Amino acid sequence: MTVDFFYKGLMEENQFFPYTPEQSADRAKGTMYEAWFDALKASPWYMSMCKGDAPPSEQARECFKKFGDLRDYTFKKWWLDIGYKLFAEKTRYQGVQLHDVNTTLELKYNNRTNQLNNLLIEVPINIHPRMLRAQIEEILAQHSRYYEHKNRFAESDAEVTFARDSKLDYHTIQTWLYVYKAVEKERSKIHAGATLYEICRNLNLRRKLFKDFGEGTIVDDETVKQRAANVASEYYQKALRLMAHATEMQFPWVEDHHGLMTIRTRGNHSSE
């Protein structure tokens, strides 16, 4: 028997329907699910665990236990083996529905009992929509827990869930990770002394900054150098913070992370 699953983290138009693992693998491509996978695969802390090193924290140990060794995985293969089970919701994420008008007003909470969180209301159809909205707002205002529920992932019953919704998207995260890997690659070369502004120039992160300097010419404008260095540094640091939190099961999160970032700094002063 085929089992279907629901996923809150898919594109909005795909959140309300059940999918087989194969169907969800296609729809998860290019979403925040893949962004988390990519962040872990780029994370120096996570990769050290894949190589057999001790976890840098208990949260990282738990993350590795769930996501596993990613070194030989593509995202689709990992999703079909592991990911689809980790992120599957036990109860569907659904939109507004029309309920039996005779149903008594009742507020149900999930509490991980597979009960849907529904506020059942009777909607008269002879009132102006503007008045209806005002009345619904008044009803909701009487239930403070509704307004405290600002994170739709807070009551997720998936084994692994996102920390929160975010304005970040897959492509932005891909750019950060690309810059991080490119910076690391540049610094590993023989001319390991490459400066951040040179890395920014080599990666074409801000082409307009260098429009007056042809390829191979010397950049002698200190303002341009500083602005370019700031761009590369900003992307690099955002990628580091994102990967650090992802390694400890907090995604997508880019706030300061003093724990793993401190470990990173001690082992690699050039990351600053």
- What would the pLDDT profile of 109-165 be if each residue is shown by its tens digit? 455 555 555 667 777 777 788 888 888 887 777 755 655 666 778 778 899 999 888
Tell me how far the alpha carbon of residue 110 is from its chain's centroid.
24
CA–CA gap between residue 238 and residue 44 (Å, rounded): 14
Q: Which of 46-55, 157-166, 217-226 has the lowest mean pLDDT?
A: 217-226
Nearest partner of 247 among 67, 92, 98, judged by Cα = 67
Torsion angles phi and psi, residue 223, rounded to 5: -65, -45
CA–CA gap between residue 207 and residue 222 (Å, rounded): 16
Residue tagged 């955002």 (tokens): 238
60 compared with 197, residue with greater pLDDT: 60
Tell me which DSSP letter residue 89 carries: B
Range among 44-58, 152-166, 209-223, 252-266 rated most confident:
44-58
Tell me which DSSP letter residue 79 carries: I
Torsion angles phi and psi, residue 120, rounded to 5: -90, 120
- pTM for the whole structure: 0.75
Nearest partner of 262 among 246, 250, 244, 247, judged by Cα = 244
Q: Which tokens is 38 given?
A: 């990519």
Task: Name the 3-class secondary structure at 177.
Answer: helix
The answer for residues whose C-beta is within 8 angstroms of residue 236's C-beta and 6 or more apart is 179, 180, 183, 196, 271
pLDDT of residue 265: 43
